[in-house]
């Protein structure tokens, strides 16, 4: 008799903590780790230059802090990240209690390679799931940093949660201007304030598709399509009414909605073409899809050239209108080109399906 298959272990949520140099990541992380909600958390840190680890943090984690190589999170460091996550997986297998992983990036890091690593390595995919990207922005220097540093803009654009720090060191006008700029850059990410590194963990955790406290995926919390639609309605499709030389003028964020079920063949082909030809411009794509012939919703998530394997969710949320919603965060790629291409591929796939059905 064939033994029953071994059930897949509950994937460990991974939170990516990013933000430009001096934004206060280590301060916030140290405060968070003292909270019961962060018990049994392993921390992976990508150190840069003179920025070191707080000894309190090391002691608090009882050896579950892993220091990745200095430098940008690409190539060698991506290999380090995979090795660290695989080593942690072995410890979990051995019964070591690790309920969450936090990856703190260097302030100069592009978070995309971390997200791609979580999407591409088979063992990492099996054992872990991305919970969310939390980006910190310094209230006093944030505007100047966003003006001068393209990576800081990218960190904010791909975030699931945006946290303004050091607001006590900024004027109300500075905070208000930064708030408005971040909201325009990334309408779907809730804006939070952390004074002296203090913030409730619940505001930052479980912002992914899955929430440990719920029986079903929290589609609304993850995608927040309404926030994108409201922003489009308020500002029109072009909501960058500022100096074209600023880095965030190059980034466009929007949500496309489709009333009719989408053909997977057409959509998948279009996504493949988009990522092959313009992958460097695709900062992030998140979507909940109503696919033709499929009763359950399907979630997709992509970062630049890579997509996480599509996930078929258990059911549609109660009261959901079951429309497909796709959120795009793009750089140097306009909305009209994306929307025209997607609709063309979808229509072509529908026509081919109708022809095939007629011949059958």
Lowest mean pLDDT: which of 116-125, 158-167, 198-207, 227-236?
227-236
Q: Select the more confidently predicted residue: 188 or 212.
A: 188
Please name which of 71, 248, 225, 222 lies closest in space to residue 154, comparing C-alpha atoms: 248
pLDDT at position 98 is 87
Of 43-52, 248-257, 326-335, give the lowest mean pLDDT range: 43-52
Measured CA to CA in angstroms, residue 64 lies from 40, 97, 147 at distances of: 9, 10, 37
The pLDDT score that the predictor gives to residue 53 is: 46
Predicted pLDDT at 131: 92
At the top level of CATH, which class does the domain 219-236+248-359 belong to? alpha beta
What phi, psi does 251 have (nearest 5°)? -105, 130
Q: What is the pLDDT of residue 5?
A: 53
| pLDDT above 70 for 48 | no
pLDDT tens digits for range 244-256: 456 678 898 899 9
pLDDT at 64 exceeding the cut of 70: no
Q: What is the model's pLDDT at position 214?
A: 55
The pTM for the full model equals 0.86
In the predicted model, is pLDDT for residue 44 greater than 70? yes
Are the beta carbons of 284 and 329 closer than 8 angstroms?
yes
49 has a pLDDT exceeding 70 = no
Lowest mean pLDDT among 8-22, 124-138, 275-289: 8-22
Within this chain, domains 12-203 and 219-236+248-359 share the same CATH topology: no
- In the chain, where the domains are located: 12-203, 219-236+248-359
Question: Domain 12-203 in CATH: superfamily?
Answer: P-loop containing nucleotide triphosphate hydrolases (3.40.50.300)
The pairing of beta strand 100-104 with beta strand 12-19: parallel
Per-residue pLDDT reduced to its tens digit, 162-195? 999 999 999 999 999 999 999 999 998 999 999 8
What is the reported pLDDT for 222? 78
Query: Which pLDDT tens digit goes with each residue over 291-329?
Result: 999 999 999 999 998 998 898 988 888 888 899 999 999
**Which SS3 state, helix, strand or coil, does residue 309 take?**
coil
pLDDT > 90? residue 278: yes
Strand 324-331 relative to strand 251-258, pairing:
antiparallel
Q: Considering the chain, what is the average pLDDT of its residues?
A: 82
Q: How confident is the model at residue 331 (pLDDT cuts 50, 70, 90)?
A: very high
Confidence at residue 161, expressed as pLDDT on a 0 to 100 scale: 95
d(CA 245, CA 257): 31
CA atoms within 13 A on the CB side of 202: 1
pLDDT band at 8 (very low <50, low <70, confident <90, very high): low
DSSP conformation class of 96: -
- Identify the residue whose tokens are 């779907």: 188
CB 70 within 8 A of CB 47: yes
Strand pairing of 65-68 and 41-46? parallel
**Strand spans (E) along the chain:** 12-19, 41-46, 65-68, 100-104, 128-138, 161-165, 191-194, 251-258, 282-289, 298-303, 306-307, 311-312, 324-331
Tens-place pLDDT, residues 104-156: 887 767 888 888 888 888 989 999 999 999 999 999 999 999 999 888 999 99
* Rounded Cα distance, 69 and 1, in Å: 49
């Amino acid at each position: 008799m064939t033994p029953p298959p071994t059930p897949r272990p509950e994937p460990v949520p991974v939170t990516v903590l990013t933000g430009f140099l001096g934004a206060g990541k280590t301060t916030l992380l140290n405060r968070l780790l003292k909270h019961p909600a962060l018990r049994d958390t392993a921390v992976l840190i990508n150190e840069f230059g003179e920025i070191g680890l707080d000894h309190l943090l090391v002691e608090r984690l009882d050896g579950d802090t892993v220091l990745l190589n200095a430098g940008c999170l690409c190539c060698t460091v991506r290999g380090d990240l995979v090795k660290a996550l695989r080593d942690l997986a072995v410890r979990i297998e051995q019964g070591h209690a690790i309920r969450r992983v936090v990856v703190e990036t260097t302030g100069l890091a592009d978070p995309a390679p971390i997200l791609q690593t979580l999407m591409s390595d088979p063992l990492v995919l099996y054992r872990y799931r991305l919970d969310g990207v939390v980006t910190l922005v310094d209230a006093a220097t944030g505007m100047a940093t966003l003006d001068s540093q393209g990576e800081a803009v990218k960190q904010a654009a791909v975030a699931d949660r945006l946290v303004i720090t050091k607001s006590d060191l900024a004027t109300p006008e500075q905070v208000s201007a930064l708030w408005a700029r971040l909201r325009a850059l990334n309408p779907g990410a809730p804006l939070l304030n952390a004074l002296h590194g203090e913030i409730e963990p619940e505001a930052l955790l479980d912002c992914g598709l899955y929430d440990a406290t719920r029986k079903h995926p929290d589609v609304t919390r993850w995608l927040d399509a309404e926030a994108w639609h409201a922003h489009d309605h308020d500002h029109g499709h072009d909501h960058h009414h500022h100096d074209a030389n600023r880095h965030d003028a190059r980034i466009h964020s929007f949500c496309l909605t489709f009333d009719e079920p989408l053909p997977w063949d057409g959509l998948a082909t279009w996504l493949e073409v988009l990522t092959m030809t313009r992958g460097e411009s695709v900062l992030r794509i998140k979507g909940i899809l109503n696919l033709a012939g499929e009763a359950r919703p399907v979630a997709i998530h992509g970062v630049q050239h890579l997509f996480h394997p599509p996930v078929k969710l258990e059911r549609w949320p109660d009261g959901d209108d079951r429309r497909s919603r796709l959120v795009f965060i793009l750089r140097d790629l306009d909305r009209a080109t994306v929307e025209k291409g997607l609709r063309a591929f979808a229509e072509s796939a529908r026509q081919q399906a109708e022809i095939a059905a007629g011949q059958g």
